[in-house]
Amino acid sequence: MKDALRILHLEANPSDVDAAVAALAAEGIACEFLRVETRADFVAALEQSRFDLIFAEYSLPNFDAPSALAIAIEKSPDTPFILVSGTVGEQTAVELLKKGATDYVVKHRLFKLPIVIRRAFREAAERSERRRAEEKAEQNLQRIRALHEIENAIAAALDLSDVLRLLLEKIELFSPFPVVATVRLLNRESGEVEPLVCRNLDEAEWRINKKRTPSGRAKRICETKASLVVRNIQTDPQTFNQEVYRQCGLVSFLGVPLIAKGHSMGVLSVYTKMEHEFCQEEIEFLYTLADQAAIAIHNAQLYDGMARANRVKDEFLGVMSHELRTPLIVLLGYIGLLKDGMMGEVNKQQENALEKLLACALDEINMINTIILTTQIEARTITREYRSLELSDLLDHLRSTYKVQTDKKDVKLTWSYPTAPARITTDGEKLKQILHNLINNALKFTDKGTVAVTVRALAASKVDQGSELSSLDSYDASKQRMWVEFRVTDTGIGISKETHRFIFDKFYQVDSSQTRAYGGVGLGLYIVKKFTDLLGGQIELESESGKGSTFAVTIPSQS
Ligand code: ADP
């Protein structure tokens, strides 16, 4: 036990205090006693000094132990309160213990005082140990919650500065007083560590100050990838502009590097407004937060990088569409002029050559258009443009584009659609593109036989069972949810069942050696599927290897 215990003794009789001193001295316990006997003196004593123990007589002329105990619990809750009384009965003493007194000793058995004191100290130590452990557990819990909150913010891909501001807010969990915190980012080109976000600082002023002062300390943290502690940055000789820190009242500094994939990305700094010694635990917590900040920054930079890469890709495609497509269109124009004899007579051989040139140029343009369309689908820049249109007009127009058959194959293209008026509301251009791709494939993969295009209306409830209305003539636009089915059937090479599930994938071709003979890039059906989805429709494939194919697209007749 430490020497000279400070004891506040609530006692009217000085000789009882002497007796207590003697009882303790007998056990080698030195102490300093302050005797008080009124409420005012008791309160004043507790307010002015700290005591190791409080002894109290139960009743005094103008005061009593229960009232004193209430005051002691409020003003000095950790100080053991021992009832040292002569007249008190067992029952009364027990009542007081229930209210929070530590122990009691009757005056004629003061020799027990040392044992009681030792026990009181032991129990007080255990209590404060328990309280510290509880506080620690609570603090850890709060930190874990904070880290979860930050993780969630990162996962939700919130704006980077919002994530970092939340993170800076959480730094206060390791500090009993408000701290100033900042995140700065290393600019790889200039080598400077530039301001990003701060807390408890005037942000505009901070940015200006940081622009004016070189980031020596932050640079060092980035280079060494190690934390740095400065006890007083206002007086530290390494501080470039001590005045700035004096004006902001910043004293102690702790900076930790933000490291992602082994590279320093910046610095997370904490400043206190009073001189403070950062303990290992605080440094470790800041490191954990720094890891989170680094992840958030890394994600944001990756995202920026991806967005930039996408922009570059879009720009490239923009250039491609103009720089490659435009000359091709000019080429097509001249081929047409030559072929039509507008630039002089063309013999049969030359005409054949021009026809081949024309076919190649058209293939090229189609391929470029397909790739551009695919990237637009990927970039989600494709929109639906619904209009009310006459179905037969759309099909008549589509049919007219297949009038001139340059193919020398023995394939007949047949059309079957009702000619009676039937208005549907859909995106006509997308629908035409779907049918174009299906018909072109059917023609491409069929060497002999027919390619048949048939169109019919289906009642909504019948779509699943595949029952049709008698014909489009019975179609009534006022009826809700009618469907229109477009079937493209060919007698070509067919598609083996195992490949059906991949057939609409991007760049998928059933058999590369075979399709190479047929040409194409494997994007036609991908576009068909995406556009059918866009129009709210469905697509089905019936096909077997060597037995021809049928692609059936069903779309709602109203948007
Ligand atoms: P592409 O025709 O440019 O190769 P598509 O996406 O239009 O790309 O078609 C993907 C693949 O599906 C084709 O390469 C072909 O193997 C197969 N395919 C598509 N339509 C038919 C068809 N009507 N008959 C046989 N195979 C087909």
Q: What is the pLDDT of residue 513?
A: 59
Residue 124 near residue 141 (C-beta atoms within 8 A)? no
**Local confidence band at 90 (pLDDT 50, 70, 90 cut-offs):** confident
Q: At what angle do helices 348-378 and 325-339 cross, to 10 degrees?
A: 160
**Local confidence band at 493 (pLDDT 50, 70, 90 cut-offs):** very high
Best of 443, 525, 542 for a ligand 1 pocket test (most atoms within 8 Å of beta carbon): 525
Most confident of 83-92, 178-187, 451-460, 534-543: 534-543
| pLDDT beyond 50 at 473 | no
Q: What is the pLDDT of residue 404?
A: 60
Tally Cβ neighbours within 10 Å of residue 382.
16
Residue 358 near residue 339 (C-beta atoms within 8 A)? yes
Positive/negative CA dihedral, 105, 111, 112, 116: positive
pLDDT, mean of residues 349-370: 88
**Local confidence band at 208 (pLDDT 50, 70, 90 cut-offs):** confident
* Cα Dmax for the chain: 141
DSSP bridge pairs for 253: 230, 271
Pairing of strands 410-416, 448-459: parallel
Tally Cβ neighbours within 10 Å of residue 201.
18
Non-local CB neighbours of 198 within 8 Å, separated by 6+ positions: 168, 180, 181, 182, 183, 206
In ligand 1, the atom with minimum distance to the C-alpha of 509 is 14
Q: What is the pLDDT of residue 374?
A: 84
SS (H, E, C) 298-327: HHHHHHHHHHHHHHHHHHHHHHHHHHHHHH
Q: Which residue has a Cα nearest atom 3 of ligand 1?
A: 520
Report how far apart, in Å, the C-alpha atoms of 191 and of each of 35, 144, 342 are: 68, 34, 66
**Local confidence band at 164 (pLDDT 50, 70, 90 cut-offs):** confident
Share of the chain above pLDDT 70, in %: 91
Cα–ligand 1 centroid distance for 310 (angstroms): 28
pLDDT, mean of residues 261-269: 91
pTM of the model: 0.49
Q: What is the pLDDT of residue 467?
A: 46
**Lowest mean pLDDT: which of 23-37, 284-298, 474-488?**
474-488
Q: Which of residues 383 and 459 earns the better pLDDT score?
A: 383
In ligand 1, the atom with minimum distance to the C-alpha of 511 is 16
**Lowest mean pLDDT: which of 104-118, 271-285, 288-302?**
288-302
Residue 404 near residue 368 (C-beta atoms within 8 A)? no
| pLDDT beyond 70 at 46 | yes
543 closest CA partner among 527, 517, 530, 525: 525
Q: What is the pLDDT of residue 157?
A: 63
Residue 442 near residue 492 (C-beta atoms within 8 A)? yes
HSE, side-chain direction, 13 A CA sphere, residue 66 = 8
| pLDDT beyond 90 at 137 | no
Q: What is the pLDDT of residue 156?
A: 73
Residue 20 near residue 33 (C-beta atoms within 8 A)? yes
Tokens 């102690």 belong to residue: 252
Cα–ligand 1 centroid distance for 313 (angstroms): 26
- Strand ranges, E, within 153-279: 180-186, 193-199, 228-230, 252-260, 263-272
Tokens 């009310």 belong to residue: 388
Best of 436, 447, 503, 540 for a ligand 1 pocket test (most atoms within 8 Å of beta carbon): 503
Q: Which of residues 173 and 458 earns the better pLDDT score?
A: 458
> Per residue in 322-332, pLDDT tens?
777 788 888 88
Residue 491 near residue 513 (C-beta atoms within 8 A)? no
In ligand 1, the atom with minimum distance to the C-alpha of 515 is 14
Q: Ligand 1 pocket: which residues have CB below 6 Å?
A: 437, 441-442, 445, 490, 492-495, 503, 508-510, 515, 520-526, 549
| pLDDT beyond 70 at 480 | no
Q: Tokens representing 399? A: 């049919």
Cα–ligand 1 centroid distance for 360 (angstroms): 19
Averaged confidence pLDDT in the chain: 87
Alpha-carbon distance 467 to 460, whole Å? 10
Q: What is the pLDDT of residue 65?
A: 96
Cα–ligand 1 centroid distance for 522 (angstroms): 7
Residue by residue, DSSP assigns 24-87 as HHTTT--EEEEEE-SHHHHHHHHHH---SEEEE-SB-SS-BHHHHHHHHHHH-TTS-EEEEESS
| pLDDT beyond 90 at 415 | yes
Best of 441, 510, 526 for a ligand 1 pocket test (most atoms within 8 Å of beta carbon): 441
Alpha-carbon distance 43 to 357, whole Å? 108
3-state helix, strand, coil in the chain (%, to 5): 50, 20, 30
Alpha-carbon distance 197 to 161, whole Å? 7
Tally Cβ neighbours within 10 Å of residue 497.
11
Pairing of strands 263-272, 410-416: unpaired
Q: What is the pLDDT of residue 474?
A: 47
Q: Which residue has a Cα nearest atom 23 of ligand 1?
A: 442
Q: Which of residues 31 and 317 earns the better pLDDT score?
A: 31
Strands in 482-490's sheet, in edge-to-edge order, are 410-416, 448-459, 482-490, 549-556, 538-543
Best of 370, 490, 509 for a ligand 1 pocket test (most atoms within 8 Å of beta carbon): 509
**Lowest mean pLDDT: which of 11-20, 199-208, 212-221, 477-486?**
477-486
Q: What is the pLDDT of residue 139?
A: 80
Q: Tokens representing 32? A: 């300093």
Q: What is the pLDDT of residue 73?
A: 95
pLDDT, mean of residues 511-524: 71
Q: Which of residues 162 and 269 earns the better pLDDT score?
A: 269
Phi, psi at 418, each rounded to 5°: -65, 140
| pLDDT beyond 90 at 503 | yes
**Lowest mean pLDDT: which of 77-81, 265-269, 408-412, 452-456?**
408-412
| pLDDT beyond 60 at 471 | no
DSSP bridge pairs for 451: 413, 490
Q: What is the pLDDT of residue 470?
A: 42
Alpha-carbon distance 84 to 414, whole Å? 115
pLDDT, mean of residues 329-343: 88
Report how far apart, in Å, the C-alpha atoms of 118 and of each of 26, 58, 124, 355 are: 14, 22, 10, 111
Share of the chain above pLDDT 90, in %: 50
Q: What is the pLDDT of residue 469?
A: 45
446 closest CA partner among 412, 414, 415, 416: 412
